[in-house]
Amino acid sequence: MFENLSEKLQRSFKNLRGQGTLTDENINDALREIRLALLESDVNLTVTKDLIEAIRAKALGSQVATSLSPSEQIVKIVRDELIATLGTDTARFKFASQPPTVILMAGLQGSGKTTTSGKLAMWLKKGGHRPMLVSVDVYRPAARQQLKVVAESINAQLYEGKYDPATDNNTDAVLRLAKEARKDAANFGCDILIVDTAGRLGIDETLMSEMAELKKLLNPTEILFVADAMTGQDAVNSAKAFNDRLTITGSILTKMDGDSRGGAALSIRQITGQPIKFLGTGEKSDAFEAFHPDRIVGRILGMGDIATLLERADEKLDRSKAEAFAKKALGGEGFSLEDFRDQLRQIKKLGSMQSILKMLPSVGPFQGLQQAAGSVDEKQFSRIESIIDSMTKKERLNSAIINGSRRKRIALGSGTTVQEVNNLLRQHTQMSKMFKTMGSGGGKMQQRLMSQMGGGQRFGR
């Protein structure tokens, strides 16, 4: 979602390259470009003004390092100020001294509270917690059923409770369900209760009064405002309204994989004074990550986010398979199409190729990769996998036996063409030769790679 802001900031930095020193004139030119980039990316006007003044003060002050070029100086200053705006440290999650810890999910209708409640529960489960979910949204049809489906998909505890719209008073039912859920969580040994609340299309007194009563009843440790990053300034205004009334403890930005301009992420933290704690990065239940200000700023400034990519690899990839593949491929044996398919499936666990490429820097040797991400055909990977699946095990282990008639059969079975089968076989042969070349020469490449993968070091640590 930060591509728009990143592109515009890169353009403003580019204009400073070739300048010998920072002067009032070129600083003003750069700040004008940066201000325009921020505003066009939907950053709040007040936040933009504060950022520009802070950058100006540092650019003209004694903090500037003389060893850096003017463009490098401005990039460093902008980086420091963006991190200060988003929060210098990763926000900590609070837990109650006496379980269950109650988390109240707040936000407008359509912001993704129900889905995010499930993602948060799954994230907590990975950390060894036992969360319980409850929906107190008695207004939206099928809202409680939706949370039930989400809870079942991640195998999380759910308190359903009883609600009869024909006889129950809505407000009384909301408070009763919340109270019963907290008791049920304690009885079942669940140390966290996530309360999915109702939303509205806009801020109204009924919504805020109900949220205030829930806060008074449950005394939640966390009140998390869920904001749709696609809504831009509307999300910022809503966050401010909820914070003024409820004093939120943090926010979660959803739909960060969309094409929003990124301004909400920069504005919400500054306007509310409360940290962004999590990001929703996709539709799947595990597309959810902690918010790291320095990493987000790295993405904005085109420096990439290698740390998050490595953490994702550490979590999702099978290290034993990766090590076995490297040893086999670099050891002179080459690798089979079955090995290739296994590695392809490993890579797919990291997410789409677009999301992977966007975490790489957009400068230096990686320049152009992020732009190329948009042209990546994700379906091609599925076609390759289908072709290999249509082979017999003998063919996958020894591609040399695949003659013309076998190629026709494989193409027919995979719904592809003989030309696509030929292309895959040719690429496999070329890759095998390349790996053999890398593994030759005294085995230095193999020794180096294996020492990195098997020397007790873990990705991202």
| Three-class HEC string of the chain | CCHHHHHHHHHHHHCCCCCCCCCHHHHHHHHHHHHHHHHHCCCCHHHHHHHHHHHHHHHHCCCCCCCCCHHHHHHHHHHHHHHHHHCCCCCCCCCCCCCCEEEEEECCCCCCHHHHHHHHHHHHHHCCCCEEEEECCCCCCCHHHHHHHHHHHCCCEEECCCCCCCCCCHHHHHHHHHHHHHHHHHHCCCCEEEEECCCCCCCCHHHHHHHHHHHHHHCCCEEEEEEEHHHCHHHHHHHHHHHHHHCCCEEEEECCCCCCCCHHHHHHHHHHCCCEEEEECCCCCCCEEECCHHHHHHHHCCCCCHHHHHHHHHHHCCHHHHHHHHHHHHCCCCCCHHHHHHHHHHHHCCCCHHHHHCCCCCCHHHCCHHHHHCCCCHHHHHHHHHHHHCCCHHHHHCHHHCCHHHHHHHHHHHCCCHHHHHHHHHHHHHHHHHHHHHHCCCCHHHHHHHHHHHCCCCCCC
Q: pLDDT at position 413, please? A: 93
Q: How confident is the model at residue 195 (pLDDT cuts 50, 70, 90)?
A: very high
Residues of the chain with CATH 3.40.50.300: 101-303
Write down the architecture of domain 101-303 according to CATH. 3-Layer(aba) Sandwich (3.40)
Q: pLDDT at position 151, please? A: 94
Name the residue with higher pLDDT: 92 or 261. Answer: 92
Mean pLDDT throughout 441-448?
Answer: 48
**Confidence check: pLDDT of 257 > 60:** yes
Tell me which fold the domain 310-454 belongs to. 434 Repressor (Amino-terminal Domain) (1.10.260)
**Confidence check: pLDDT of 130 > 60:** yes
Mean pLDDT throughout 164-177?
Answer: 84
Q: pLDDT at position 418, please? A: 94
In the CATH scheme, what is the code of domain 3-86? 1.20.120.140
Name the residue with higher pLDDT: 420 or 372. Answer: 420
Are 217 and 201 in contact by the 8 Å Cβ rule? The answer is no
Residues 6+ apart with CB under 8 A from 134: 147, 158, 159, 161, 177, 178, 181, 193, 194, 195, 196
What's the token pair of residue 330? Answer: 């670099």
Are 447 and 301 in contact by the 8 Å Cβ rule? The answer is no
| Top-confidence range, 97-111, 279-293, 368-382, 436-450 | 97-111
User: What does pLDDT average to over the chain?
Assistant: 79
Mean pLDDT throughout 5-20?
Answer: 62
Q: pLDDT at position 20, please? A: 54
Q: How confident is the model at residue 438 (pLDDT cuts 50, 70, 90)?
A: low
**Confidence check: pLDDT of 442 > 50:** no
Please count the CA atoms within 13 angstroms of the CA of 62 that sit on its side-chain side: 0
Name the residue with higher pLDDT: 155 or 432. Answer: 155
Sheet holding 288-290, edge to edge: 157-159, 131-135, 192-196, 101-106, 222-228, 250-254, 276-280, 288-290
Question: Which of these ranges, 94-103, 240-249, 332-341, has the smallest mean pLDDT?
Answer: 332-341
| Top-confidence range, 6-15, 115-124, 280-289 | 115-124
Q: How confident is the model at residue 145 (pLDDT cuts 50, 70, 90)?
A: very high
Q: How confident is the model at residue 184 (pLDDT cuts 50, 70, 90)?
A: very high
CA distance 370 to 405: 40
Q: pLDDT at position 105, please? A: 95
Percent of the chain with pLDDT over 70: 72
Q: pLDDT at position 202, please? A: 73
Question: Which of these ranges, 220-224, 321-325, 402-406, has the smallest mean pLDDT?
Answer: 321-325
CA distances from 251 to 14, 53, 285, 457 (A): 34, 26, 18, 34
Residues of the chain with CATH 1.20.120.140: 3-86
**Confidence check: pLDDT of 69 > 90:** no
